[in-house]
């Protein structure tokens, strides 16, 4: 991903953290003091966000050198040295927390995503959702891809997803779909959420691109796959976890969307140590 797409995210994060200056470092070090540091993984996982990590240091001080020893999406082991950093100690320590925060979050998402992908064993694709951290969606979804997942819609603007509240307010599935078609002229994909097989059959009679099976049990999802017979892609959704995802994938659905990939992130552990 080109840095100009996420540069503003880093700038805002740095401004939030530093503001008028790093009191501690400015008190202890001279402007000319240099240092060398290492980025060290403190657990096994999937590395995601190295480009963001590097860019954070460069935005603080373009003279800082960041040597990346791994590539995005690679697996690392506990205690592996991931990168080497050298430059002004004030600049390095000024960028440290923001660089680590973003790297840890992205790597946590990628690592968690890969666990779900492995459970599915290529039977279907693992999707993310819009349940991302505010203003970090671009990075969250990038991390999902680095972990082997697939991105769902990025926002309300690039896909019509007709959910329960839309259906109730519109007076039914067909009415909701017809209104979207009249307004958008099918310029964007249309997906409809259904909660039972009767609603599934209604949705199958509409001009749409995908059907979401919301909180169905395994048997009902398998029946939905049989009824659909490959006519349209099916997406399973609702409280999916590592215990249930393999069985869901065996029902024959095409996609499984998992909000937990980005809304319940456990950051991957890294340390930045001055050597």
| Residue 273 to residue 161: CA distance in whole angstroms | 46
Contact partners, residue 202, CB within 8 Å, separation at least 6: 172, 173, 174, 194
Q: pTM for the whole thing?
A: 0.96
For 122-152, letters b (16+ CB in 10 Å) and e give eebbbbbbbebeeebbbbbbbbbbbbbbbeb
Q: Annotated catalytic sites, by residue?
A: 97, 131, 163, 193, 214
Phi/psi zone of residue 65: left (φ > 0), alpha (ψ -120 to 50 degrees), beta?
beta
SS (HEC) of 140-157:
HHHHHHHCCCECCCCCCC
pLDDT of res. 3: 82
160-162 vs 190-194, strand pairing mode = parallel
| Residue 123 to residue 248: CA distance in whole angstroms | 10
Neighbours of 168 (CB within 10 A): 10
CATH tag, 117-263? 3.20.20.70
pLDDT tens string for the chain (275 positions)?
Answer: 888 889 999 999 999 999 999 999 999 999 899 999 999 999 999 999 999 999 999 999 999 999 999 999 999 999 999 999 999 999 999 999 999 999 999 999 999 999 999 999 999 999 999 999 999 999 999 999 999 999 999 999 999 999 999 999 999 999 999 999 999 999 999 999 999 999 999 999 999 999 999 999 999 999 999 999 999 999 999 999 999 999 999 999 999 999 999 999 999 999 999 99
Task: For domain 3-110+266-274, say whether CATH 3.30.70.1380 is its number.
Answer: no
pLDDT of res. 132: 97
Q: For the chain, which residues make up each domain, given as ranges?
A: 3-110+266-274, 117-263
pLDDT of res. 204: 98
Q: Are 41 and 82 in contact (CB under 8 A)?
A: yes
């Amino acid at each position: 991903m080109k840095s100009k797409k996420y540069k503003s995210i880093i700038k805002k994060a740095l401004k939030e953290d530093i503001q008028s200056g790093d009191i501690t470092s400015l008190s202890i070090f001279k402007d000319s003091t240099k240092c060398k540091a290492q980025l060290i993984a403190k657990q096994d996982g999937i590395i995601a966000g190295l480009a963001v990590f590097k860019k954070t240091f460069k935005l603080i001080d373009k003279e800082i050198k960041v040597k990346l020893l791994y590539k995005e999406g690679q697996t690392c082991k506990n205690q592996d040295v991931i990168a080497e950093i050298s430059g002004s100690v004030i600049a390095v320590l000024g960028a440290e927390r923001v660089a680590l925060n973003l790297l840890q979050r992205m790597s946590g998402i990628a690592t968690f995503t890969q666990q779900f992908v492995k459970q599915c064993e290529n039977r279907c694709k693992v999707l993310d959702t819009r349940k991302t951290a505010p203003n970090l969606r671009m990075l969250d979804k990038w991390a999902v891809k680095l972990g082997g997942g697939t991105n769902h819609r990025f926002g309300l603007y690039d896909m019509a997803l007709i959910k329960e509240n839309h259906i109730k307010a519109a007076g039914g599935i067909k009415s909701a779909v017809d209104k979207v078609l009249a307004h958008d002229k099918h310029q964007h994909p249309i997906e409809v959420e259904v909660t039972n097989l009767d609603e599934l059959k209604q949705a199958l009679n509409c001009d749409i691109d995908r059907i979401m099976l919301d909180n169905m049990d395994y048997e009902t999802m398998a029946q939905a796959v049989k009824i659909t017979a490959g006519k349209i892609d099916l997406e399973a959704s609702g409280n999916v976890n590592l215990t249930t995802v393999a069985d869901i994938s065996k029902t024959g659905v095409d996609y499984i969307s998992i909000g937990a990939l980005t809304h319940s992130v456990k950051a991957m552990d890294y340390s930045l140590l001055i050597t």
